[in-house]
Amino acid sequence: MKTLIKGLAIAATMTATSASAGGVIKFGHDNKTDPFENPAHACTAVFSNIVTADTNGSVSVEVFGSNQLGSAAEHVQQVRDGIIQATLTSTGALASYYPRIDVLNLPFAFNGNASTYEVFDGDFGKELAADIEVELGDVVVLGFPDTGGFFAVTNSKHAIADLKDFEGIRIRTMTLPSHQKIMQSLGAEAYPLSWGEVYSGLQTGVIDGQMNPVPIISFANFAEVQKHMTLTNHLFSPYTFMINRAFYEGLSDSERATIHTAAENCVAASRGLSRIIEASDRGLAGLMDKIEVTALSAEQRAAMAGAAQPAFESHVAENMDARAGELLAKFKAEVSAANAASYLD
């Protein structure tokens, strides 16, 4: 009887603990805090709303955008340390903690946005998330939100439509070696530069051009200091949405289920807003009145892919581990299948 009573007491304690689980998710990111202007903040706003409402306030979310709590790389460490509970991190910021994220920078991989959704929501996305969790140990990956879409290249010299047009153009890249390899393989001069220095670098001529998704090019007012933009669509780099593992595991089952539902909606919001911005006067439609826009033909894009993809794959083989090679092979296979699929199939 004593054993039974003791067991019931433990069960009651566990139930009480589960019922009282919850807390505050401090969510840091490095973007503008306007859900109508920025895919990252749209994502966090939707996540916050669903979590707070569907848990009846047992879990709440406090969002700190615009680098209020530090840089994107610092946000990753803060999540790992439990100082904050969640972040959206770019591939560049995550690379110092998880170098294999660089496999996502396979250039000219996707043929459209629908393919990116298929890959990152499918088996490859699940395998990538699991690998990040194993390597870091202290985070849970909840999804891969959109950062704004495919990368375009802008410059102040002349229109870029063929490989030869890259020659002599100094293009700003992130500090990722793969980004530098890609630009060099196309014939440009790669110039790593911190984000805060890009506008002034373009303005003073330290750099001739840069590469970013169209909404970022618009919001950063690069059309003021750039004359030409090419819709290369050569890179697609999603955010990685991660949450502190100890916090996550301390939630009740129902709260964790809500977290996952909210994360899925967060990803959808980031994608929807990205597509809207691209098509609005805050994106490509607005930029076309301020900057010369060049779209590539299938043949021009294939020629660029033929130059950039072998260089990138050599970089991975020479500088990354065998597991990165396995992930890259999986990524290529999933991308190929997604590109071949039709939305109506």
Flag whether 12 is in a domain.
Answer: no
> Do 207 and 295 lie in a common domain?
yes
Q: Is residue 84, in this structure, part of any structural domain at all?
A: yes
Mean local confidence (pLDDT), 30-54: 94
Q: Return the percentage of the chain with pLDDT > 90, whole number.
A: 87
Q: What is the pLDDT of residues 116-159, one digit of tens each?
A: 999 999 999 999 999 999 999 999 999 999 999 999 999 999 99
pLDDT for 195 equals 81
* pLDDT for 32: 87
Could you tell me if 110 and 68 lie in one domain?
yes
Q: Is residue 338 part of a domain?
A: no
Whether residues 218 and 136 fall in one domain: no
**Which CATH number is 258's domain given?**
3.40.190.170
Residues 220 and 132 in one domain: no
* Predicted pLDDT at 194: 84
Tell me, yes or no, whether 158 and 253 share the same domain.
no
pLDDT in tens, 69-78: 999 999 999 9
What is the residue range of 55's domain?
A: 21-147+238-279
Of 253, 279, 305, the one marking the end of a domain is 279
Co-location of 218 and 114 in the same domain: no
pLDDT band for position 284 (50/70/90)? very high
Least Cα distance to 94 among 135, 41, 64 occurs for: 135
Same domain, 106 and 186: no
Q: How many domains does the chain have?
A: 2
Residue 117's pLDDT is what? 97
Q: 226 and 108 in one domain?
A: no
pLDDT of residue 155: 98
pLDDT digit string, tens, across residues 193-213: 988 899 999 999 999 999 999
Mean pLDDT, range 173-191, rounded to an integer:
95
